Amino acid sequence: MSENVLKSTGFFGEIYTGEYSRYIIMCVDEYQKINLMFLSHSKLLKKHETFNSLGKEIKFDLLLPKNSEGD
């Protein structure tokens, strides 16, 4: 797993990056914008990440809930 591999099936799939992070595609729009859930240490994070698959850059919108309950 030296390279990032994008494994998607239609609008759903799994993304493996590095050897410690795991991304799950929740949904995809026609603008190559993908909403993902970032699973790390049983914690959900929220941030923008750019995934490079086979030379193609795919912008991912990681859905990560804030620690604040006010939102």
Please answer whether residues 48 and 28 qualify as being in contact, where contact means their C-beta atoms are separated by less than 8 angstroms: no
The confidence score (pLDDT) of residue 22 equals 53
More confident residue, 45 or 25: 25
The confidence score (pLDDT) of residue 10 equals 38
29-53 pLDDT, tens digit each: 444 444 554 444 334 434 445 444 4
5-21 pLDDT, tens digit each: 444 433 334 444 444 45
Amino acid at 5: V
Please answer whether residues 2 and 17 qualify as being in contact, where contact means their C-beta atoms are separated by less than 8 angstroms: no
Local structure of 66: helix, strand or coil: coil
Local structure of 68: helix, strand or coil: coil
d(CA 52, CA 22): 14
Look at residue 68 and tell me whether its pLDDT is greater than 50: no
